[in-house]
Amino acid sequence: MPELPEVETIRRRLAPLVQGRTLTAMQIADPRWCEPFDPSALTDALVGRRVERLHRRGKYLIWEAQDEVFVLMHLRMTGTVLYDPAPETPYVRVRLTLDDGHRLSFADPRRFGTGELALGRPALDAFFKARLGIEPLGAHFTSDHLFTLTRNRRTPIKAFLLDQRRIAGVGNIYANEALFRARIHPLRATGQLKRRQVAALRDAVIGALSAGVDAGGASIDDFRHPDGVEGAFQNEFLVHDRAGQPCLVCGATVVKFVAAGRGTYACERCQPKPRRRP
């Protein structure tokens, strides 16, 4: 599933290709993509307008067009945005054409991806305020800020990291990697982490996400770059998907279990289990 680094990878590749270009056509082949909006609401808003900027917030790819028209794409499980895709590309749900003749496709085998519309910056801000917490690669994501967010939370830290309303953009892979880097067990109670552990976790979240961005994201399942190339971060996992293999730090065996409903990997020597409470 694409997480922040995968979406950021797409944004970085596409931005120079689409910014300043005018969208001359948009075809929404699968109306479910933009429910509850009518496809014509999005096409009418976007077609004929210049793309001012391509942004990212959490796992959302944001197309900012002239006159504060924003289209917010979410890739969910298997979505990706391809640039000049091969004509036979399957599972295309949306097609865009630029004024320089280049084409884009939103391809999405499992059809969970979405497109939404926000007209005006206040609508955009309200959209994200209702859905997303702090941006982990932004300047405000300090250890003090994270410490405040974690207080009085009984939820396990893995579930906390996956909650988009707390921190935006961290999914299963990067939560596993960050907790390993910070040497924190995924089932530790969030509110009981010490200040130094929270500081380590803040650095680890940034470190894991940045490593993912630097590697062009992780290509598991169907994730591809806009040009069809795969990311390389799956070759750099420290703990994710390494069940039964030796820990890269201490040599103990990496274990897999379910936490927050997701496949979770940890070295329980580096990341000691929480003590059971009576």
Q: For Zn ion, what does the binding mask look like between residues 219 and 258, x meaning CB under 5 A?
A: ----------------------------x-xx-x------
The least CB distance from residue 180 to Zn ion, in Å, is 8
Q: Which of 50, 262, 269, 274 is catalytic?
A: 262
At 81, list the tokens. Answer: 């945005």
Q: Which of 11, 13, 59, 224 is catalytic?
A: 59
Asked if 170 interacts with Zn ion (CB under 5 A), we say no
Asked if 269 interacts with Zn ion (CB under 5 A), we say yes
Q: Which stretch binds Zn ion (CB under 5 A): 43-51, 102-110, 182-190, 267-275?
A: 267-275
262 assigned to active site: yes
Asked if 270 interacts with Zn ion (CB under 5 A), we say yes
52 assigned to active site: no
Residues ≥6 apart with Cβ < 8 Å to 124: 62, 68, 70, 72, 118
Q: Which stretch binds Zn ion (CB under 5 A): 75-83, 84-92, 229-237, 259-267?
A: 259-267
Q: How many residues bind Zn ion (CB under 5 A)?
A: 7
Q: Which stretch binds Zn ion (CB under 5 A): 100-108, 184-192, 196-204, 264-272?
A: 264-272
Active-site annotation, residues: 2-3, 59, 262
* Residues within the interface to Zn ion (CB under 5 A): 247, 249-250, 252, 267, 269-270
